[in-house]
Structure 1
């Protein structure tokens, strides 16, 4: 028998979550602080709860998708609602920090509430599709019991581990990659416009270049996992030629008056990385190159 589910928060993402559950045949109750946002779900078959307490009472599983963990705390951590949650499952799909997720887990455990934390790596249109990706962390037995329900939200559900903070941690790591690509794209667009290059041309060339960039990223991750930070026979591309090309970019930007906010950060990292005998990582840890002694004062922080 399928569990009854309540979804708290009827923004675009919360509404998509509720619609996916309804499409999968789950009895679904929804609640939103502004009741009008929940009203369209009634036509799709959802029950509309008048209060958070009513939503919790109606279901075995409570999915939360609100603005932040502080908003979650305001909804759930009052005596009556916390008592009603006893023995039930909270699935937190609100964006937050790893430590925030661990704190929620601790609170839930103290109140006899099961808890999973998740991160959605999708826009609302992917929810309920095979391509919809969710990262989930928390006790493995709780995850196994909820797995079928989670797959209704997205076909690509990834269990990250028992530590409830892992889903948010990996989410942040992947977002760092995404934002690097998006900010880089804005920089590329600015250069093309300054040099009167049609953006359709940029798009076509990016399609050709993307596999090369993807290969470099994958190689960097593999090398970091193995602790191989210094250049070796398998190095695809070392710092020096990259820095030479980077200087050309900086010269172009200065000549055309393009904002250097992003590239100033890149330049600082390049210069640290080129200090003799020192490998400086973005984490600000400095490693001695295996074939060189560290020169005093060569790492400037």
Structure 2
């Protein structure tokens, strides 16, 4: 028999999680601080709990998807709920920090629960589909025990290690890549608008060049992992031509009064690397200079 599951938090993502569980045939109870958000789920077959304690009592697995770990603590750490958590599997799918995940896991184990921490690498429309990706950290035993339920949430659920902080750490790393691309897109749009370039043209040229960028990112990660920072026969791009072109971007942005707060940070990293003698090294050499004081 499939375990009973409760979902705490039914915003857009929590609702998607609950719907996926219902569609997979799990007896699903939901709770949300604003009860009106649970109405569509009740119509879909979920039981609506009147309190967090009621939701916890109804389940063998408690899925939490709220704002952050502080919000989770506010829900679970009251005496009546903490006493009811014993023997349950808590699957935390709330975004947060690695140390927040470790602290939440310690609390759960101290109160007799099993704990898994997950990072959802998808928008709600991907939940329950073959392409839904969720990174999960925690004991392999707990992951294997919950694998069928996790599979209902997405077809690409991965156990990435027993350290509870790993899922959120990797989530942050991947989000850094995403935000780098999105802020880069914002800079591109600003330049195009300043120079009266049609944004449809930008979209066409980005589509044509995206595979080149993907290749550069993959190569940077590979070379950094191997510590291969000096230029060699396999170098795709060294710092020198990048920095020359980057100076042209800075000059354009200055002339057009485009905000330089982000790119000036890039310039500082370039300058530290060049001052340390890396001008002609592979672009991956810049990885040695992030996080160091200027």
| TM-score where L is the length of structure 2 | 0.95
Q: Which residue of 2 aligns with 1:255?
A: 255
State the alpha-carbon separation in 2 of the partners of residues 108 and 9 from structure 1: 18
Q: Which residue of 1 aligns with 2:146?
A: 146
Q: Give 5+ residue unaligned stretches, structure 2.
A: 279-284
State the alpha-carbon separation in 1 of the partners of residues 179 and 272 from structure 2: 22
Q: Which residue of 1 aligns with 2:8?
A: 8
State the alpha-carbon separation in 1 of the partners of residues 107 and 240 from structure 2: 50
Q: Which residue of 1 aligns with 2:47?
A: 47
Q: Which residue of 1 aligns with 2:290?
A: 283
Q: Which residue of 2 aligns with 1:204?
A: 204
Q: Which moved more, 1:91-100 or 1:246-255?
A: 246-255
Q: Do structure 1's residue 21 and structure 2's residue 21 form an aligned pair?
A: yes
- Partner SS for 2:19: helix
Superposed counterparts of 1:53-92, under 5 Å: 53-92=53-92
User: Post-superposition shift, 1:113?
Assistant: 0.4
| TM-score where L is the length of structure 1 | 0.93
Q: Do structure 1's residue 274 and structure 2's residue 274 form an aligned pair?
A: yes
State the alpha-carbon separation in 2 of the partners of residues 270 and 283 from structure 1: 10
User: What RMSD over aligned residues (CA atoms) do the two structures have, in Å?
Assistant: 1.2
Q: Do structure 1's residue 126 and structure 2's residue 133 form an aligned pair?
A: no
- Partner SS for 2:275: coil
* 2:273 and 2:289 in contact (8 A); partners too: no
User: Post-superposition shift, 1:109?
Assistant: 1.3
- Partner SS for 1:274: helix
Superposed counterparts of 1:221-236, under 5 Å: 221-236=221-236
Please identify runs of 4+ aligned residues in structure 1 that moved more than 4 A.
Answer: none
Q: Which residue of 2 aligns with 1:245?
A: 245
State the alpha-carbon separation in 2 of the partners of residues 95 and 163 from structure 1: 16
Q: Do structure 1's residue 170 and structure 2's residue 170 form an aligned pair?
A: yes
The one-character-per-residue Cα deviations of 1:14-37 (angstroms, maximum 9, x if unpaired) are 011000100111000000011111
* 2:137 and 2:161 in contact (8 A); partners too: yes
